[in-house]
Amino acid sequence: MHDDRRITEVRLDRFVRERIIPAVYARTVPLNLSSWDAPGEPVSVMEALRNHFAPQEHGAAWGKPWGTKWLRLQGDVPEAWGTGPDTAVEIVVDLGFINEAPGFQCEGIAWRPDGTIIKAISPRNQYIPLKLLGSGMSVDFYVEAAANPDMAQGWTFAATPYGDKATAGTAPQYRLGRIAIAELNQTVWELQQDIWTLAGLMHELPPEQPRRHEILRALERMMDQMDPDDVPGTASAGRAALAEVLSRPAYASAHQLVATGHAHIDSAWLWPVRETIRKCARTFSNVVALMDEDPGFVFSCSSAQQLAWMKEFYPELFGRIREKVKAGQFVPVGGMWVESDTNMPGGEAMARQFIEGKNFFLDEFGVECREAWLPDSFGYSAALPQIVKSAGGRWFLTQKISWNQVNRMPHHTFNWEGIDGTRLFTHFPPVDTYNAELSGRELAHAERNFRDHGRGNTSLVPFGYGDGGGGGGPTREMLAAASRTADLEGSPKVRVGSAESFFTQAEDEYSSVPVWVGEMYLELHRGTYTSQAQTKRGNRRSEHLLREAELWCATAAVRGAGSFQYPAAELKRLWRLVLLQQFHDILPGSSIAWVHQDAERNYAAISASLETLIGQAAAALLGEGSRTFLLNAAPHARNGVAALAAAELSLASRPVQATAVDGGYVLDNGIIRAVLDADGLLASLTDYATGREAIAPGARGNLLELHRDTPNEWDAWDIDEFYRRNVTALTAAQAIRVEHAGTSAVVVVDRVAGSSPVTQRITLDAGSGSLTITTAVEWQESEKMLKLGFPLDVRADRSASETQFGHVFRPTHVNTSWEAAKFEICAHRWIHVAEPGYGVAISNAATYGHDVTRSVRDSDGGTTTSVRLSLLRAPKFPDPTADRGHQELTVTIRPGAGIAEAVEEGYRTNLAPRLVKGARGVEPLFSVDNPALVIEAVKLAEDGSGDLVVRLYESLGQRSAGVLTANFPVKDVQATDLLERATDAPGVKPASAHGSVELSLRAFQLVTLRFAR
């Protein structure tokens, strides 16, 4: 037989385009329009409806960037419309949508005149059934239309002014399209879904398979039997021609897909948080409307923050969501406050994501999420398995790792082992998207791509338009595809269900689960460790202020300091705001300028509020007096003051010497000795305890380097390895001078990075084992990256980087492609490199991006291990002004340091000395006799009982034992999970005396203890 496949396929495409699609709505009549433009930020529905609506022309241009137009739609349904057995009346609203990127353009939501939500209007969900209006055969309702600009711009990554209202302009962005009453032909619509499913499947089947040809000929018969001039009248015949091929059951061994509705709504990204709130209302209103039509539809919804917004701003919609949760259709997942970044949030912040998220879902819905749900975060910390399990979690889901540039993950379903040995059952959907449409291509890809055939046969597919949120999540077309592929020959079997039902089924399938150990490093988006330095500095500062505030407020409450009341509600509010800003496009620096401007304002307000709380608690604790006390919130003693206590300073007696030598300076405090040459570079750094030189022979530390930074795509997200090939070493100093400030010596160095003035202050304090370098930059660069490097005389085959509740080791060599891909890595407060017997710790106050390389010197055969910190970037998309202006970054370097010293240095750098006047000191609430056991948080219990909660972890990566003592009357001690519920904790044994607990913890073990007073 002659091969006419291509001819038939082209015929089918045109038949659908020109005959089927126009016949879905064969008859339409325009509506009468009037409108009102909100003058500034969005307003509530009732406020909008109080305004005068003027006549609105069809097809008119509208929408300045970020503006809101309210439309009123009125008209009468023509007589006899929708009375046929397969017809219904709908309102079609086209706000001027473009075909691409459904979530990255204008969006709308329909409201009844009484202020209740109907559903959203989006590019691929433009209809409103007449029955939802509740007004018989007349039409009268409103559409709140948001003129969100197309920030994506076809993903060209070109600089755009639209991300900042100050530069976005006022030119209209859109032109109104068809807004009309329409008669839906249900049979034609069903035929359209039949064709879409079968054609998609056909194109995925190999030409040698009979099934492909069988489908093609059935589609050909359908076209032959239908009358192109009377599609509505012959649609039933067309469906009959396809019925047999649609009824063929799937192979017994077909891959099984659990399809769960989803709408990945970024809590901010190419739009501000205020628009996310509206995006959530649009999407969730679509979802509940779809659930009313299809009781089998299940939707997985993460992010407690987004539902908290619904409760606050859209209470009527929130009530409808509650009912769907009870019905098992609207399913909370993830148990986190937001889908946060996992690389950069501190340990306590990561714990609070689950504490706040899970408690919200429990309080509002009575639902406990068992899975962590992070499809789009930019890599996954090796500390997560323990944190998830400690919060009562059982499973983990991710998708983003499919974006790896070089290496493919070897499994899709596996046990993920974290830094402490905790294992977490994990799934990585082989469909390679969290925005599936359930197309033939996607389903076939999921089956082909699944890497665990033979061990299991089930995977998850999250379906629904997401990312932009305005795409509206799942659609009726997707549900139609799911029903057609439930049992269809040549296709995987699709079952609509919850994530929990998938995980339970997948666990039952596996008899021997493969294991992935350590972090899931994303081989992409490495620049997110550095972009938007001000946002990162605000996050780090907020985390540590929250530590201080909780500690001192809890201490004041327990010590009975007057009438001091623990400010639980205010602390929760501030924590939730910090957690929101750890969302995976805010803290990583990958959002528009508006988002980061909001974040920086929020951080300033957070700081002010927390400083007030700390001040109030300190005043209650110390009383009125003229003596100076150090409030030491660190978990280690400082300047003679015990951890978590307040006492007068015990200052080091030996002063710091600063000696001018050859145009530079030598700084010496009897513990370390630093030589700064005439260029202000670190020529030598030694500690007296070992006598070792830390700086490699012939090299100099404190070296600023300016790199060209032009990634191939995803500017704010990516650093590509070729950045290393274009570098300017900033060796020359414009000026160098020494300053003395009390018990410190400071060398000040002025230099220039490109066109950006730089001032470095290199400080050595009395009694300190580390040198502090503060780099202030008036950053004016574009597409450049500034690094600060230290070439160390250390043969280190791996580096240790702090992560949540511990640290992670990474090789310094590049033997394999997996190692070579990690050319930029994330560390929290410190990074450490060592050889047996000697190491160097480098800490930071707000820097996360690092790189560690090694080379062997020809001169002496020794090894130079170079540690560099990524201080600043200057990407042009999505914020063309990212990082411009004044920046200040602090780094310390500590020679002769082990891991214990690195941990201590990290806290010291991030918890600045807090000196307060008062009359009396403060004994710590808790003390521990082994510094390896680090107290991370001290607070009052979440339930308001007044119980004390202390969270601590083993910090050195080894088995460590010690005794934790409560220095207040205690009647009971319990080990708990993160949600402060009693649980068994290995290695935790309350001692015979009340108020003490014997601990024998495995490496990096996390423990939460609850003390009843």
How far apart, in whole angstroms, are the C-alpha atoms of residue 257 and residue 502? 9
How far apart, in whole angstroms, are the C-alpha atoms of residue 955 and residue 900? 8
CA atoms within 13 A on the CB side of 919: 6
Whether 58 and 176 have beta carbons less than 8 Å apart is answered as: yes
Tokens of 807: 């640290």
State the burial class of residue 711 (Cβ atoms within 10 Å of its Cβ: 0-12, 13-18, 19+). Answer: buried
Tokens of 550: 């909780």
Identity of the amino acid at 759: T
How far apart, in whole angstroms, are the C-alpha atoms of residue 902 and residue 897? 7
376 is catalytic: yes
Only one residue has tokens 């560099």, namely 868
CA-based nearest residue to 147, from 180, 169, 124: 169
Only one residue has tokens 């619509």, namely 189
Long-range contacts of 513-516 (CB under 8 A, 24+ apart): 513/413, 513/414, 513/415, 513/425, 513/455, 514/410, 514/411, 514/414, 514/415, 514/452, 514/455, 515/414, 515/415, 515/416, 515/417, 515/423, 516/409, 516/410, 516/411, 516/414, 516/415, 516/416, 516/417, 516/426
* Residue 995 CB coordination number (10 Å): 17
How far apart, in whole angstroms, are the C-alpha atoms of residue 956 and residue 806? 7
DSSP string, 327-340: TTSEEE-S-SSS-B
* Backbone φ/ψ region at 469: left (φ over 0), alpha (ψ -120 to 50), beta: left
* Backbone φ/ψ region at 446: left (φ over 0), alpha (ψ -120 to 50), beta: alpha
Angle between helices 304-313 and 347-365 (to 10 degrees): 50
How do strand 515-517 and strand 413-417 relate by DSSP bridges?
parallel
Residues present in the chain in total: 1013
Residues 6 or more apart whose CB falls under 8 angstroms from that of 113 comprise 49, 140, 141, 142
DSSP string, 668-685: E-SSEEEEE-TTS-EEEE
* Residue 213 CB coordination number (10 Å): 15
For 359, the 3-state DSSP assignment is helix
How far apart, in whole angstroms, are the C-alpha atoms of residue 353 and residue 377? 14
How far apart, in whole angstroms, are the C-alpha atoms of residue 1007 and residue 1012? 16
With b for 16 or more beta-carbon neighbours within 10 A and e for fewer, the 248-262 pattern comes to eebeeebbbbbbbbb
How far apart, in whole angstroms, are the C-alpha atoms of residue 964 and residue 980? 18
DSSP string, 473-495: B--HHHHHHHHHTTT-TTS-EEE
For 119, the 3-state DSSP assignment is strand
Tokens of 50: 């109080």
Only one residue has tokens 């879904």, namely 193
Out of 86, 140, 376, 487, the active site residue is: 376
State the burial class of residue 835 (Cβ atoms within 10 Å of its Cβ: 0-12, 13-18, 19+). Answer: middle
CA-based nearest residue to 725, from 823, 802, 800, 657: 823
Q: Is the dihedral of CA 819, 828, 267, 888 positive or negative?
A: negative
Residues involved in catalysis: 376
